[in-house]
Each structure stands twice: as C-alpha cells, then as structure tokens.
Amino acid sequence: MARIPDAFIDDLIARTDIVELVGARVALKRAGREYQGLCPFHDERTPSFTVSPAKQFYHCFGCGAHGSALRFLMEFDRLEFLDAVEDLAKRAGVEVPRETRQRNEDGGLRRMYEVLDEAARWFRGQLAASRRAQDYFARRGIDAATQDRFSLGYAPEGFDGLRNALGTSTEALRLLEQTGMLARSDSGHVYDRFRERGMFPIHDRRGRPIAFGGRILGKTTADGREAGPKYLNSPETPLFHKGRELYGLWQVRQAHSKIPRLIVVEGYMDVVALFQYGITTAVATLGTATTPEHAELLFRNAADVFFCFDGDRAGRGAAWRAVESVLPRMKEGRQAAFLFLPEGEDPDSLVRKEGAAGFDARLSAAVPLSEFFFSELSQDVRLDTLDGRARLAERCKPLLAQIPDGAFSDLMRQRLGELCGIATNAPAPVMPAVPAFARRAAGHAAAPRRSLVRSAITLLLQNPALALALEPPWQFAGLRQPGVELLIELLDHIRAHADVDLRAGNLIEHFAGREEAVALEKLALAQLPGEAATWQQELFDALAQLARQTRQQRIEELMGQGALDETEKDELRELLRARTRD
C-alpha cells in the first residue's frame, strides 16, 4: 500500500482540535492552559489525564498514555493507523492523498466491500424467506434482536442463487469470485461457495463485511444428501486474512466504549449465544489456532483475555499454542487465563444451562497463564529429582526469555526458581539505549550542568515555529555530543514543513516507534522557564554556544595532530582568530 505523505499527516494533526476530539469521549475541565479529566486508558479516581491545546498532545501521568490526536483515535477507538487517518481527514473535510496506482487499488477494494455488503443483505433476505432457516435459528435459541445484531442470514440450496442475484455482469462475477463468494470447479464452472447454510458475516474494524462463515443446518441437506463440513469459511482474499481477524470484535466494540475483557471461544454460535445472554465481550478465532496477530489484536483491545477451550487433549494443545502467541506480548498490566470446558459442553450450551452468572463464575475460576504454563511443561518431569528440575529449567528458559521485561517476567522467573530450587536473581529490566541527553531528561542520571542540546530540543518541541527563524548550514553539525543528530533532524523536519502549523503532537508522531520517542515525550511535557518572548533568543544562544563548542572541538583536533599541512594551518589560524573575537 502506498505510504501517506508525512506532510499530510502533519497538516491533519495541525487541523484537528485535540481538545474537541478528546472531549467528545472524555469529560474534560480547564486547568490553566490545559484540560484535565479521568484517564480513559486506566481506572482512576483522581484526574491525571491532561490535554494540551497548545502542544496538540495528551498525556496521562498515571499510566503514561500519551500522543497526538491520531494516536488517541487509534488507542481509544481502537482503529488501525489508516482508519484513524481516514477518520481525521473526514473530520477536517480533506481527502487522503493517494498515488494513481493506489487510487485504482482503492477503487477495486471499495467495489469488493460493496459486493460483500450486497451479499450480506441478500443472505438476510433469504433468511426472512426460508422457514427452514428460521426454524434452525429458533431451535438454537437465537432471538430476532441477536440475529439483527450479527446480521445473520441464510444461503439457500442450489448452485447459482447468489450468482444469479448479484453476478449480473462480467465485472460483478469477477468480484464475487475474487471475494470468495463463488468457487470454480476443475472444469472451470463457477458456482456459489455457500449453499444451504446459516450465514455469519465477518466484519472488519469499521463494521464492513469482509468474509463469511457458513454453518450447516443439519447433518443432511433438504433433499437428504450429506451436508458437508459443519463450518465453511471464506477463503483468504485481499480483504480477509483469517489469522488476523476475530469474529464478533466489531460487535464487542459497539457494546463497550472501554472493553473490560475479551473471551476467546471457538465457534460463531458460541459468540452469538454469549451475547444474547448478556456476555458481550466474546470473540472467536476463525477456524485456526491463536496467532501472534490474534494475540496482538486481543491485547490492543483489552488488558484481560480469557481463552475457552475443550478440556480434552486437543483443547489443551490449542491452549498451549495460544500461550506461545501470548507470552511475547505479556506487557505490564496484561493478564491471560484459560477456561477448560467440561466434556461435551461448549460456551453456547453452558451459558444456556447456567446463565451469565454461572459462566462468569467459571471465568473467575479460570487457570492463570502462569499456572497453566508451568503445569504443562512439568507434566512428565519428576520435580523431586535434580535431573527433572534441570529439565524443567531448560524447557522454560527460552520461553521465559520471550516475555517483555517487567514484573510479570520477574515473577515467572522467580516461580521457576521456586519449582527448581535455584536462585534466579532475575535481572532488573533492561532499558533501551537512549542518548545521554535523553537519560538526563528522563531522570535516569543527574547532569552536572544544563545540556544545551536538551534545552534546544525542548524549545523546538514546544515551539516548533522557532526553527523558522534559523538558516542552515548548522554550524554545530560536526559536534560529537549525544543528541546533536536528533536536534538537526528536528530542525530540518520543521523547516521542511514550514507551511504547516506544527505542534509537539506532530513531532512526537513523527518519532513514534523510535528509541528517542520516550525521551522526547518527556521533554514535550516539561515546563519551560521564563517568558515565551525570550524563548527565541534562548534557542539562538544555545545553538551559538554549540557552534563555539564545535569550533573548539576542531581546534583541539588540529592541535593534537602534530604536523599540519598548509591548509590545516590556515584553518587553525582562522579558528583561533574566531575564538578570540568571541
């Protein structure tokens, strides 16, 4: 996909009133030049969440959530980057720029979305016209409101119902086949993929149908033939990748502004039944094991994730595959647990027998990830022997190494030490390498004197327009000090976007995902001393002093070389004269 120009992103953030955007979702009150409210990203009673209109930036001093208007949409509304950009663009009344090739691709994708939406509506109409399909959903106890909520439908018997209804042109037939709604036989005949099945549309993060799951209505078809596999899913298409999607997530998002937990089940009907009984946080993987992409998507939407599996060997195997995907994503505050179901039961049957309260009680007794992890790895290990404990330690170590640094990682290592009778001495979390100026800004080391580079970066972050009064070349470019390259990048970026009203939020977004980002966020939040009228001169003075340090650095290099050629002697004399003039 073509990359959206940075200049457009900067302009979009600058056009957005972050106070208005956040205030539509969070109750904010003015506090001086900023606004405060209860953080929407963690539970708190005392407001620690601030929004700065001057910086176009939000920050929570409690949980550390921070970013621009774009980041807020991604985190609060749980949008993908491109969807968040589209949302902001729509608010600003501008169109997201695309290359010609990309425009053509987008047009093709748009037509795919349209044909799938038409298919979903057609299946809904077929359900209304089929007594057999209605009776099936009635027997399963799915009421009309829940059918509407999930846009359930019916694919009638016959090989060309959908084809005849929607494939009215060569282009329409091509789109139906491209989206997986039609299949092609070895002889080249095209026919309906879904026949005589209850239809479950799979929605993307914006609520658009991107695929379907079809469930047989009985073991045999209406004319007595074997019905085929219980579930049939759409194939992989340009819109649908089953390892990245979760059935029901769209409905969960519609039910909750802040999702308290997610419950991962195996079947469409499990999700639908749990919703009907008031458990509106259920999602299902689409006939595949829990992938790393699933795990990332789950935790992006909720901090607590429960996996429901059968209690048999296959179920525990599926649970272990989920563990392997989840472990590398167990950051601070995240929790995962496993509910193993009684033999012959699934979430659908359990919630009908025990109700929402009974199902919640089972979730409360779910096995924590840590407990399941060690019980699985020690199943065939004799912990009463030295050899057995050594085997367990060797099994665990490579998996524990995948857990991000933090309390959970330390406690897992501590538990391994308890089981094996060894001292783990879990190391302190390893902090990513950051420049010296950034460490001082973040409070990791005391600076013997104020850092000019840090001061200049702080001024630029909070007042990007200050850079517009400066002209390259930068006389301090050769200075060997931490942060100089970052300072130059900031200056160049601001000057390259002189036509945009850049704020701190824009610049933080530019550095998102880089190791410097954390330090820059802290500097963006710092309170600048003095009056705003003096800040331009402070920046001039800081850069002039850095230029003098660069000159002194070069003088020392030349004087330490020993024999100099004539060119170097002339350079040294000029540098010394310049130093004297200062």
Q: Which residue among 240, 265, 300 closes a domain? A: 240
Q: What is the domain-level CATH number for residue 37?
A: 3.90.580.10
Query: Domain limits at 219?
Result: 109-240
Specify whether 263 is located in the same domain as 373. yes
Measured CA to CA in angstroms, residue 580 lies from 543, 571, 577 at distances of: 19, 14, 5
Q: Which residue among 240, 273, 303 closes a domain? A: 240
Position 425 in a domain = no
pLDDT of residue 321: 94
Specify whether 122 is located in the same domain as 27. no
* Alpha carbons 22 and 12: distance in angstroms, whole number: 16
User: In 3-state terms, what secondary structure has residue 564?
Assistant: coil
Position 102 in a domain = no
Q: What is the domain-level CATH number for residue 490?
A: 1.10.860.10
DSSP designation for 402: T
pLDDT of residue 428: 42
Specify whether 249 is located in the same domain as 168. no
Position 468 in a domain = yes
**CB neighbours of 496 closer than 8 A, spacing ≥ 6?**
7
Specify whether 407 is located in the same domain as 446. no
> CA angle, corner 566, sides to 560 and 568, nearest 5?
40
pLDDT of residue 279: 97
Q: What is the domain-level CATH number for residue 221?
A: 3.90.980.10
> CA angle, corner 405, sides to 404 and 408, nearest 5?
85
Specify whether 231 is located in the same domain as 318. no
User: In 3-state terms, what secondary structure has residue 551?
Assistant: helix
* Alpha carbons 331 and 336: distance in angstroms, whole number: 11
Q: Mean pLDDT per segment of 10 residues, for the chain of length 582 residues?
A: 73 88 87 88 84 88 86 81 85 75 60 94 96 94 95 94 91 94 91 95 91 88 74 92 92 90 94 96 91 89 93 90 93 90 92 95 95 93 90 92 89 92 54 36 40 86 85 87 88 84 80 78 75 81 88 84 80 80 71
User: Could you tell me the sign of the dihedral formed by the alpha carbons of 550, 556, 559, 563, in that order?
Assistant: negative
Measured CA to CA in angstroms, residue 570 lies from 424, 514, 547, 560, 582 at distances of: 62, 42, 19, 16, 19
Contact 414, 424 (CB under 8 A): yes
Position 26 in a domain = yes
Q: To which residue do tokens 């200056």 refer?
A: 491
User: Could you tell me the sign of the dihedral formed by the alpha carbons of 311, 314, 319, 323, in that order?
Assistant: positive
Q: Which residue among 60, 92, 124 closes a domain? A: 92
pLDDT of residue 101: 43
Tokens of 363: 């979730």
Helix pair 452-462, 484-496: axis angle to 10 deg: 20
Specify whether 527 is located in the same domain as 572. yes
Position 570 in a domain = yes
* Alpha carbons 279 and 281: distance in angstroms, whole number: 6
Specify whether 249 is located in the same domain as 364. yes
Position 86 in a domain = yes
Helix pair 407-420, 369-377: axis angle to 10 deg: 40
Position 427 in a domain = no
Specify whether 236 is located in the same domain as 252. no
Specify whether 412 is located in the same domain as 507. no
Position 85 in a domain = yes
Structural domains in the chain (count): 5
Q: Which amino acid is at 268?
A: Y
Measured CA to CA in angstroms, residue 233 lies from 110, 151, 180, 216, 387 at distances of: 21, 16, 9, 12, 47
> For 61, phi and psi rounded to 5 degrees?
-80, -5
Which string of DSSP letters, residue by residue, matches 337-386?
Answer: EEEEEPTT--HHHHHHHHHHHHHHHHHHTPEEHHHHHHHHHTTT--TTSH
pLDDT of residue 224: 65
User: Could you tell me the sign of the dihedral formed by the alpha carbons of 105, 111, 114, 120, in that order?
Assistant: negative
Specify whether 47 is located in the same domain as 60. yes
* Alpha carbons 55 and 458: distance in angstroms, whole number: 12
Specify whether 372 is located in the same domain as 469. no
- Tell me the H-state helices in 497-534: 504-510, 517-525
Contact 445, 520 (CB under 8 A): no
Specify whether 232 is located in the same domain as 123. yes
